[in-house]
Amino acid sequence: MPSPAPVSRIVVADPAALALTAAQRLLARIDANAGRVAIGLTGGSSPKQLYQLLASEAYSKRIPWDRVHWFIGDERFVPANDARNNMRMAREIFLDRFAPRGHIHPIPTDAADPDESARRYEHELKAFYGADDLDPALPLFDLVLMGVGPDGHTASLFPDYPAITETKRWVVGVPKAHVEPFVPRVTLTLPALASCREMLFELAGEEKRAILTRLLAGENLPANRARSIGETVFLVDRAATGGELRGG
């Protein structure tokens, strides 16, 4: 197997600069593809400022909404209107205001259980992609956003859980979460997340410092196993790095 492309690191001053850099990278990915664009969003609190920026006049008018499709990398298995639902935040802040309805692709949580939800979303992704097998020459996503939890999980791929070893399925159900909120999850798998031109991790704040240190030390954690077949970028703020403003 060819070794994945190296990971680059961008350090910015604070969460506002982080949102700005992420928005610029997102726009650059959209501009680089003249056809239909697919973006994988993420849950958690990290992307909130980015979503707010995308809803601003300056950014919303630069996004060609009629050719961008919005997916999500993982979901909590709660109703679409539950405050813990990941897609709900993205919808409320910007998607419902700007994106055509058919371009918003939430993970369906009205399914009987997380496994059925995963099967349905996998079916939707395959229909969108137009094939059952991922071709490295044709990434599924232009950009995938990622966050990192205190235990090193990313999407809902928790350390030592079976989902992290999945190689065939694109989406799987996760019966029990490893961190709060303790609700079942549905998550894209490593191969599905990897199928992107860019994977962009966002980590901001002092509370991310401990896990960032472990990741930089090369620990075998889900956030170190999730890598794009294209470019992987860790976008971090100074507080997360422990005060140093350095790239690398």
Contacts to ligand 6PG by CB under 6 A: 42-46, 74, 76, 86, 147-149, 153-156
Q: Among residues 136 and 181, whose Cβ is nearest to ligand 6PG?
A: 181
Q: Among residues 142, 147, 141, 144, which one has the least CA distance to residue 48? A: 147
Please tell me what DSSP assigns to residue 218. T
Is residue 29 within 8 Å of residue 143, measured between CB atoms? yes
Tokens of 233: 């970028």
Q: How far is the CB of 95 from ligand 6PG (least distance, A)?
A: 16
3-class secondary structure, 64: coil
Cβ-based nearer residue to ligand 6PG, 132 or 207: 207
Query: Of 30 and 157, which CB lies nearer to ligand 6PG in the complex structure?
Result: 157
1 or 83: whose CB is closer to ligand 6PG? Answer: 83
Q: To the nearest whole angstrom, how small is the minimum distance from the Cβ of residue 137 to ligand 6PG? A: 28
Q: Closer to ligand 6PG at the Cβ: 76 or 119?
A: 76
CB-CB neighbours of 76 under 10 Å: 24
* CA dist., res. 3 & res. 10, Å (int): 22
DSSP letter assigned to residue 245: -
Half-sphere exposure of 138 (CA within 13 A, CB side): 11
Question: Based on CB atoms, which residue is closest to ligand 6PG, 38 or 223?
Answer: 223
* In the complex, minimum distance from the CB of residue 85 to ligand 6PG, in angstroms, rounded to a whole number: 9
How far apart (Å, rounded) are the C-alpha atoms in residues 47 and 186? 19
The amino acid occupying position 174 is V
- Please return the burial class of 9, using the count of CB atoms within 10 Å of its CB with bins 0-12, 13-18 and 19+: middle
In the bound complex, what is the minimum distance in angstroms from residue 72's beta carbon to ligand 6PG?
Answer: 8
